[in-house]
């Protein structure tokens, strides 16, 4: 994929050099090219970055295989006689890799179609407008830093052998018998959900007092209930102390004295920025805890150097990276785009059940507007026909500024991630429940729960109990 398309301009200076070809970097490159700029993108591994090769896509393929396994296991419940035999990890990996492979090919095709020059190799910022790759200097009128993130670990906890990160967990060629997962955030619970369906005896350890602790407390409670029902063990409010590895497994010690034996330990305690050693600070880019400091227009304060995606502190999500990339390209083109605000970014915890949310939690809204300036409503999926058909429990919770617009929507339940599209429109367009209540939601869909919740909050409930 080296240097296929866009020939370098006559003066040898391109309009934009992008360092890193993940979600943030390639979005900036593609949008800039659409806007008529000459673009060179430098990538040391594979175009698509974490999300395509080691994140969003392969994990969702695992979760889909997990759903198929659970459907087979529980088919009797729906009057269908099928039997669950086993999970063939080679087959799962073949399916997962094929999905990734198709998307990777498509992405390479898009780079070509957009005439983005992709240069393979590790780049280094050697001047405020120049990236060097294997002795070759590429100068741009603008530079976008998009070097992404990598799995974090804890002090003294060495990764390797039976201590996995999400990268090595995705590459396992067999289904483990048991696993301890350190961290009950999005990545930890995603693996817990898939592995449990594959037959793994899973134990999550979370230092804070609840699973998915950044979500609304009501979501965490419902989620924990569902995990208990699925037989996923978790310990919250307890910290990791140490791990011993042997040929056959690990013994994980917790600070409360408990010891848990398992075949593997998966470390899922968050992701840190990849910003060291590429010359950023030497060129005046300021780092804070490794994250690149930027203003709300993603400018680093150094000449025409911008940063996007996971190296900018905040939500580490692919679609935030896409939005950053598009924003910066349009900013460079002088289009005055609207800044990307983290509270407007939709969040989905992929699992069974799923948690999908946007905007403020109830706690955040009360803190921001005042205790008595917020009203909420929880629509229980027990009243939603489609959710009953699927056999899922959960809710749609609305958080509204008193007599004002919706400021947060939080949902739990199987497949509820699919509802986040409408939820984010409602919150970001600052809709009132009375306005949403006028819109018709198709029956019987899970989406109807969104409509029902707004009907109820607007004072005209239809299928709401209590």
Which residues are the active-site residues? 443
- What's the first-to-final CA gap in the chain, in angstroms? 60
Question: Does the annotation flag 186 for ligand binding?
Answer: yes
C-alpha span between 317 and 171 (Å, rounded):
22
C-alpha span between 390 and 456 (Å, rounded):
23
Question: Does the annotation flag 257 for ligand binding?
Answer: no
Q: Which stretch binds ligand FAD (CB under 6 A): 83-91, 243-251, 258-266, 313-321?
A: 313-321
Q: Residue 325 corresponds to which tokens in the numbers above?
A: 């990339």
Between 7 and 46, how does the x/- string for binding to ligand FAD read (CB under 6 A)?
A: ------------xxxxxxx----------------xxxx-
Minimum CB distance to ligand FAD, residue 424 (Å): 13
> Counting contacts by CB under 6 A, is residue 184 touching ligand FAD?
no
Question: Does the annotation flag 97 for ligand binding?
Answer: no
CA neighbor of 326 nearest in space, from 344, 340, 346, 311: 340
Cβ contact 212:355 at 8 Å: yes
> Counting contacts by CB under 6 A, is residue 448 touching ligand FAD?
no
Residue 146 or residue 455: which is nearer to ligand FAD going by CB? 146
Residue 207 or residue 321: which is nearer to ligand FAD going by CB? 321
> Counting contacts by CB under 6 A, is residue 147 touching ligand FAD?
yes
Cβ contact 157:267 at 8 Å: yes
Convert 103-166 into a string of H (helix), E (strand) and C (coil): HHHHHHHHHHHCCEEEEECCEEEEECCEEEECCEEEEEEEEEECCCEEECCCCCCCCECCEECH
Other beta carbons within 10 Å of 230: 16
Minimum CB distance to ligand FAD, residue 246 (Å): 27
Between 107 and 146, how does the x/- string for binding to ligand FAD read (CB under 6 A)?
A: ---------------xx----------------------x
Q: Give the residue carrying structure tokens 């809710």.
A: 395
> Counting contacts by CB under 6 A, is residue 328 touching ligand FAD?
no
Member of 16, 28, 65, 274 binding ligand FAD (CB under 6 A): 274
CA neighbor of 283 nearest in space, from 301, 297, 308: 301
Instruction: Kindly determine how many residues on this chain lie close enough to bind ligand FAD according to the rule CB under 6 A.
Output: 36
Minimum CB distance to ligand FAD, residue 54 (Å): 6
Between 196 and 235, how does the x/- string for binding to ligand FAD read (CB under 6 A)?
A: ----------------------------------------
Q: Which stretch binds ligand FAD (CB under 6 A): 48-56, 208-216, 289-297, 367-375?
A: 48-56
C-alpha span between 404 and 408 (Å, rounded):
12
| Residues facing 145 on adjacent strands | 19, 307
CA neighbor of 393 nearest in space, from 193, 261, 229: 229
DSSP 3-state of 45: coil
Residue 20 or residue 383: which is nearer to ligand FAD going by CB? 20
Q: Which residues bind to ligand FAD, rule: CB under 6 A?
A: 19-25, 42-45, 49-51, 54-56, 59, 122-123, 146-149, 166, 187, 274, 278, 309-310, 316-319, 321, 350
Annotation: binding site for FAD:
60, 123, 147-149, 310
């Amino acid at each position: 994929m080296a240097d296929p398309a866009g020939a370098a301009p006559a003066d040898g200076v391109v309009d934009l050099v992008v360092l890193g070809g993940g979600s943030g970097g390639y979005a900036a490159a593609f949008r800039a090219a659409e806007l008529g700029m000459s673009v060179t993108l430098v990538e040391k591994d594979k175009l698509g970055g974490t999300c395509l090769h080691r994140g969003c896509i392969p994990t969702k393929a695992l979760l889909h295989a997990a759903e198929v396994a659970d459907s087979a296991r529980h088919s009797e419940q729906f009057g269908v006689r099928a039997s669950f035999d086993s999970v063939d990890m080679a087959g799962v990996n073949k399916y997962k890799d094929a999905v990734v492979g198709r998307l990777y090919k498509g992405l390479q095709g898009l780079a070509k179609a957009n005439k983005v020059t992709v240069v393979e190799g590790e780049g280094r910022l050697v001047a405020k407008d120049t990236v060097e790759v294997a002795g070759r200097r590429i100068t741009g009128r603008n530079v976008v830093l998009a070097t992404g993130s990598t799995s974090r670990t804890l002090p003294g906890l060495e990764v390797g052998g039976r201590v996995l990160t999400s990268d090595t967990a995705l590459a396992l060629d067999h289904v483990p018998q048991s696993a301890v997962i350190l961290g009950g955030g999005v990545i930890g619970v995603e693996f817990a959900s898939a592995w449990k369906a594959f037959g793994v005896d899973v134990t999550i350890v979370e230092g804070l007092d609840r699973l998915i602790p950044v979500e609304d407390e009501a979501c965490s409670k419902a989620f924990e209930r569902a995990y208990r029902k699925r037989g996923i063990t978790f310990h919250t409010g307890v910290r990791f102390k140490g791990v011993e590895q042997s040929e056959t497994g690990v013994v994980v010690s917790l600070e409360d004295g408990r010891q848990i034996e398992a075949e593997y330990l998966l470390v899922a305690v968050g992701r840190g920025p990849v910003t060291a050693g590429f010359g950023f600070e030497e060129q005046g880019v300021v780092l804070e805890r490794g994250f690149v400091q930027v203003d709300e227009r993603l400018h680093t304060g150094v000449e025409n150097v911008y940063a996007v995606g996971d190296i900018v502190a905040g939500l580490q999500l692919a679609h935030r990276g896409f939005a950053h990339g598009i924003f910066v390209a349009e900013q460079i083109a002088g289009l005055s785009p609207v800044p990307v605000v983290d509270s407007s970014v939709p969040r989905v915890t992929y699992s069974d059940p799923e948690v999908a949310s946007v905007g403020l939690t109830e706690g955040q809204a009360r803190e921001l507007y005042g205790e008595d300036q917020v009203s909420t409503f929880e629509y229980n999926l027990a009243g939603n026909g489609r959710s009953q058909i699927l056999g899922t429990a959960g809710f749609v919770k609305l958080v509204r500024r008193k007599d004002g617009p919706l400021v947060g929507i939080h949902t739990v339940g199987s497949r509820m991630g699919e509802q986040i599209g409408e939820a984010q429109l409602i919150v970001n367009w600052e809709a009132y429940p009375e306005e949403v209540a006028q819109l018709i939601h198709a029956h019987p869909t899970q989406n109807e729960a969104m409509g029902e919740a707004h009907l109820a909050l607007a004072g005209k409930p239809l299928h709401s109990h209590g």
